[in-house]
Each structure stands twice: as structure tokens, then as C-alpha cells.
Structure 1
Amino acid sequence: MAWLFDKPLLFNYVIMVLYSMNAAWWAAHGKWADTCYWLSALAITATVTFGYKH
């Protein structure tokens, strides 16, 4: 797993996929507060990943 942490962008992509999957899971089960929580986490991670120069 060390190779994953050596590449910060790859780690962020993996995390964003997991956040998307969580949001989809909660949306499919009608839990909109939880869906919004995971979408917010996705938005924060995407902002850090793509909004700042590395």
C-alpha cells in the first residue's frame, strides 16, 4: 500500500471514487442527509485535488 501514498493524486482519486460510491449507496437507500454528507466530502477533496497547484 505504500505505493498508493507515494502518489498523492492517485490517493485522492481513489478517495473520490469511494466517496462517490458512498453517495450513490445512500441515495439508493433514500438517505439524503447521508448522500449530501458524502457529496460534500467529495467536493472538498476535488477542490483540494484540482483547485490548488502542486
Structure 2
Amino acid sequence: MVVLERKLKNVWNQKMNPDFEAKRRIHKANALHEKASSSMKETIICRVRGYLEDKKY
């Protein structure tokens, strides 16, 4: 039930807040960042930066 509520909340946030997806990706990248090696970190940073540039921030 909690999972369903979380999914609904995510869908709601995406509809109400177009920046939500970008924030979620940054949060996810930061979480991965904690575990990743330095070369992997560079890849993650590049991916997020590319995503944000695509969104024209």
C-alpha cells in the first residue's frame, strides 16, 4: 500500500511540477555518488548535466 501511495505521489508531482523529474534524477545521482568510484562519479555528473542541458535550465 505504501508503494502505491508513493507511486501516486510521484505521478502527481510530475504533473504539478515539471522540475520534479530533474530533482529526482539529481537526488538519485547524489545517492549513487555516495557509493560510486571516482570514474563512475564523473559519468553520473555528465549524465545529469546533459539531462539538465536538454531541459534548458
TM-score of the superposition, structure 2-length normalised? 0.48
The structure that has the greater radius of gyration is 2
* TM-score normalised to structure 1 length: 0.49
Between 1 and 2, higher relative CO (CA 8 Å, sep ≥ 6) is seen in 1
